[in-house]
Structure 1
Amino acid sequence: MSLTNFIKRIQDIMRKDKGVGTNDVLILEQLVWLLFLFIYDYKEEEWELYEDDFQSIIPEELRWRNWAVDHKDGNALTGDSLLNFVDQNLLPILKNLEIDEATERRKSIVKSIFEDANNYMKNGTYFRQLVNLINEMNFEEIEERHAFNDIYEEMLKGLQTAGNNGQYFTPRALTAFIAEIMDLKIGDTVADFASGTGGFLTSAYEILKKQAKTVEDNEIINKSIYGAEKFHLPYLLGVTNLILHGIDVPNLEHKNSFSDNVREFTEKDKASVIMMNPPFGSKSEDVAIQSNFPAEFQSSETADLFMALILHRIKVNGRVGIILPDGFMFGDGVKQRLKEKLLNEFNLHTIIRLPGSVFAPYTSIATNILFFDYNQIGTQDIWYFEVPLPKGYKAFSKTKPMLSKHFDPVREWWNNRKESEYSWKVTKEDIIKRGYNLDIKNPNKPEEESHDPVVLLQQYKAVCEEVKRLQDTLIEELKSLL
């Protein structure tokens, strides 16, 4: 099956429908709950085969096999009959499934998927064509499953066009690199408290499943990967993504990770590995949410709260890899207090400085990967590595994104560290003298003034974004003082 052709066929059908048109977000939201039902029905066939007493939580007439499959006998639902079935039966019933604490996770996940799901399509004939196209996938063949996974990955890239309010989706090269550096082992508990479409979690799973030798190993891995996502569409995408990668029952919650009081976390609430790209630039958290944090870490800025959350939810000797914007590196107030705790109680051993265009064109804000361990002793020295742009690149872009191979210079340096054109070391004492400012430029590389208009435009956009962020921070500080 041609990946490009399949995606084009999906788009051609859905864009004819006046309910979704060319709105990529609506297309994705519509498509993903349909894909979930299709995939879930396949998983149920497996469970029925191996479990004599298996019963679906989905009423029989609503299971994919009983309404979506066209047997070419003239009885398949289509047109207005199909739309009425979806709008008046399928979605309302799945939204209101009865579950309780005794309900299996693999069953209760169905209700969580459909709580905010909607049908945007207005033409039942196009709806039937879309369903028939999905049914062309043969999940019993491994090659077809891999092709479907590729299709899904392409759709996740498309979701990046919907990035707003700090919700940027992490390039696969970044999630895979951070997971690789974490040196994951079976028995590690892995968490992402703003898991989005599940990039970090699937990257972790891909590494761990290669180590599995027994059925018990697989069960341990499946239970050890945890995510939480506040927004419905990324949550829906994340659950489906994890199922496609082989996790039958994703341990992914649809919740705001800040809704729990950090003072009440016990050891069972903590993870041995945390990998995250927190939403940055967002000022969406109200006073009630902030009260779940110690006074010195209360902030309306999501990136600050996620950093505070991580410091309360990592186990002793645990490892963290987190992507943070430059604003955190030099920021004061809550940011400085977070950095004081980080350097005094944790070992911040490495900062990878990323090119400003990694998340282009969705944002030009420069970002960094912070790697640290919870050693309860503190930091001694911090190594910096500045990832160079590939030869011939002026910047990364949507058509020339960052790839795994672009981290090869970091890989070569990681276990044999020495100062170079791209790397340097700073002591904790130097950081303290700088007022806990971690924004240290590469001292081994001469400043190059670029006159390239693309680079200058990106620099200008980055400065504008940072000015706006600082203005928002100042407004929040003034509000708190008043």
Structure 2
Amino acid sequence: MVGTTQFVKKIRDIMRNDPGINGDAQRIEQLSWILFLKVYDDREKVWEIEQDDYESIIPEGMHWHEWAQDRKDGKALTSDELLDFINNQLLPTLKEITVTPDTPISKAIVKDAFIDTNNYMKNGVLLRQVINVVNDVDFTDPKDRHLFGDIYESILKELQSAGSSGEFYTPRALTDFIAETLKPKLGQRIADLACGTGGFLVSSLNILKKQVNTVEDRKKYNNAVFGIEKKGQPYILAVTNLLLHDVDNPDIIHGNSLEKNITEYTEKDKFDLIMMNPPFGGSELPIIKKNFPSDLQSSETADLFLALIMYRLKDDGKVGVILPDGFLFGNDGAKLNIKKKMLSDFNLHTIIRLPSSIFSPYASIATNILFFDKTGPTKQTWFYRLDMPEGYKHFSKTRPMKLEHFDPVRKWWNDRHEIKDDNDNYKSKAYTPEELAKNNYNFDLCGFSTETEEILPPFELMNKYQKERKELNAKIDKQLAAIKKLLEEDD
């Protein structure tokens, strides 16, 4: 088994030579369905041992071990023969698998995973090389699976720099901190209603796994998490992620959480814990907005998800949600009504202001974590500003945020008190609902200085500096010319 860096580098180097792969996003999408089939095939080996009557939903001849294995006997599919099989037999067959309401989740996910899947590679020899690299991983071997967890995390991180795909990846430090704070327990139902690649679900599972001691605990673990994801690529990554974490029935729906009228949700549709990072800045069709009460209809996707959370949270349930600064200081009708509802119907107890570069290089938007629960109306809301750790100007792909950077919050969490910074501005302070109402429900409190450093991609940064240097040189030349003229006049 190769190491994390070697695996990712090998795949990247092979795919870069293929004329059909255009950029990181396509490379990751191509690798996603290949990994899914390999992981699923290895999980089926386990299910066949555990279940005497197990029958695969994948048709004969389409299983990974039937066509992808290279026994070095010259019989393995490669070149045009491999391309023809994948393009004209494998993918069409998997997309047309028959699924009924009685089909177990563990089988239905195969069809869902391949509905939007494409084979971008055009060189069959290179495709065979990629398959062979993946084939070296044995997901039934604990050592390989542990190491592959690191490989998988590395692949997910690359989504941050793969264009718009970055929206589907929330840094592990954030998902781990929120899960750690909400303290999931076996027997609870945990949801992410825009789950992307499944980061929050996996952070929860890592906590729950330590609580598994009996067969009954194992069943609770297997049914603990639920996700919905709209886009095909992150959906398949999320399903694979859960399979890798021993969830036999990954309860993840390939669809849009906002498509159902939220007033129709019943108690069985609600959750004990909801943690998520909803899409920012997006907008939905007018027909989607009609699924919400008129006073909560918003043009901002994140607002709609926040309203959805309120309708899908059980009594005594808890929430940790990441929202942009725009929600905090926004005062349009829907945002205002959502804030009022949150304070009157829920306990909005904590808002953590986060540094703006956490999602760099994908985005430098300023974000916050809102923690609230359904235990009664809000009595006070604590705000806490998490400053950049010492020695950091900003986070980046090479120096990302780590869980340990939340240590100041952890220390403060159980010993809440007001804090002022060196400029005598509040870094932490509690406000009552009445005080927030007097402030016109502007939650932009205990924030950062308005003078923030702009984080730009390297080439934009170079262009910016070159422009500034050109302007500075022009000013210097002008001043020198003026001085020279004065000297000449003196002569």
Say whether residues 1:100 and 2:100 are aligned partners.
Answer: yes
- Give the percent of matched residue pairs that are identical in Structure 1 and Structure 2: 53
User: Would you say the 8 A contact 1:184–1:207 is kept in 2?
Assistant: yes
CA distance in 1, matches of 2:355, 2:418: 19
Change (3 A) 1:115 1:326: same
Distance 1:294 1:123, change over 3 A: same
**Mapped contact 1:166–1:282 kept (Cα < 8 A):** no
Aligned 8 A contact 1:166 1:279 in 2: no
Indicate the residue corresponding to 1:391 in structure 2. 390
- Cα 1:404–1:449 change in 2 (3 A) is same
Q: How do residues 39-438 of structure 1 correspond to structure 2 at under 5 angstroms?
A: 39-164=39-164, 167=167, 169-283=169-283, 285-332=284-331, 333-375=333-375, 377-421=376-420, 422-438=427-443
8 Å CA contact retained: 2:196, 2:238: yes
Specify the code of the residue in structure 2 equivalent to 1:266. Answer: T
Q: For structure 1, which segment, 105-114 or 137-146, has the greater mean C-alpha deviation from structure 2 after superposition?
A: 137-146
Q: Offset at 1:165?
A: 8.9
Separation in 2 of the partners of 1:88 and 1:334? 49
Deviation at 1:300, TM superposition (A): 2.7
Superimposed CA distance per residue, residues 284-322 of structure 1 (whole angstroms, 9 cap, x where no aligned partner): x11111111101111232101001100111011110000
Contact 2:352 2:383 in 1 (8 A): yes
In the alignment, the residues of structure 2 paired with residue 233 and residue 33 of structure 1 have an alpha-carbon distance, to the nearest angstrom, of 8
Deviates more, 1:5-14 or 1:265-274: 5-14
The 3-state SS of whatever aligns with 2:61 is helix
Residues 196 and 238, structure 1, Cα contact 8 Å, conserved in 2: yes
Amino acid at match of 1:319: K
Judged with a 3 Å threshold, the aligned counterparts in structure 2 of structure 1 residues 54 and 438 are, in CA distance, closer, same or farther, namely same
1:17 corresponds to: 18
* AA aligned opposite 2:436: I
Deviation at 1:134, TM superposition (A): 0.8
Q: Which amino acid aligns with 1:291?
A: K
CA distance in structure 2 between the aligned counterparts of 1:325 and 1:263, rounded to whole angstroms: 26
Given that 2:42 and 2:138 are in contact with CA atoms closer than 8 Å, whether structure 1 keeps it comes out as no
SS in 2 for 1:405: helix
**TM superposition score normalised by structure 1:** 0.90
Does the 8 Å contact 1:297/1:305 carry over to 2? yes
Q: For the Cα contact (< 8 Å) 1:166–1:281, is it kept in 2?
A: no
Distance 2:38 2:338 in 1: 45
Distance apart, 1:166 and its partner CA: 8.7
SS in 2 for 1:383: strand
Unmatched segments (≥5 aa) in structure 2: 421-426, 461-491
Residue correspondences, number = 449
Distance 2:412 2:289 in 1: 40
1:294 partner amino acid: P
- Deviations 1:422-459 (Å, cap 9, x if unpaired)? 321112111010111111135xx9x6967xxxx1557x
Which residue of 2 is the match for residue 465 of structure 1? none
Name 1:4's counterpart in structure 2.
5
| 8 Å CA contact 1:165, 1:281 repeated in 2 | no
**Aligned residues of 2:298 and 2:335 also touching (Cα < 8 A):** no
Is contact 1:175–1:203 with CA below 8 Å preserved after alignment?
yes
The answer to whether the 8 A contact 1:192-1:274 is kept is yes
Partner Cα distance (1:107, 1:141) in 2? 23
**1:141 shift after superposition:** 2.2
Tell me, what secondary structure is at the counterpart of 1:226? Answer: strand
Contact between 1:278 and 1:324, CA under 8 Å: does it hold in 2?
yes
User: Partner of 1:191: helix, strand, or coil?
Assistant: strand
Mean CA deviation greater in 413-422 or 26-35: 413-422
Q: 1:71 to 1:154 in 2, by over 3 A?
A: same
Do the aligned residues in 1 keep the contact of 2:346 with 2:378 (CA within 8 Å)? Answer: yes
* Contact 1:166/1:280, CA 8 A, preserved across alignment: no
For residues 166 and 349 of structure 2, the distance between their equivalents in structure 1, rounded to whole angstroms, comes to 27
Scaled by the length of structure 2, the TM-score of the pair is: 0.89
* RMSD of aligned residue pairs (Cα, Å): 1.6
CA distance in 1, matches of 2:147, 2:239: 18
- Paired AA for residue 372 in structure 2: F
CA contact (8 A) 1:168 1:362 kept: no
Look up the match of 2:444. 439
Distance 2:218 2:163 in 1: 34
C-alpha distance in structure 1 between counterparts of 2:403 and 2:351, whole Å? 18
Closer, same or farther in 2 for the Cα pair 1:261/1:448, shift >3 Å? closer
Q: How far 1:242 sits from its partner (Å)?
A: 1.1
**Structure 1 residue 374: deviation in Å?**
0.8
User: Are 2:316 and 2:373, in contact at CA under 8 Å, matched by a contact in 1?
Assistant: yes
Would the alpha carbon gap of residues 456 and 157 (structure 1) be closer, same or farther in structure 2, given more than 3 Å must change? closer
CA offset at residue 138 of structure 1? 2.4
CA contact 1:163–1:169 (8 Å) conserved in 2 = no
- Tell me by how many angstroms 1:99 deviates: 1.1
| Contact 2:43/2:140 (<8 A) preserved | no
Query: Does the CA contact (< 8 Å) of 2:346 and 2:372 recur in 1?
Result: yes
Q: Partners of 1:372 and 1:448 in 2: how far apart?
A: 27
CA contact (8 A) 2:43 2:243 kept: no
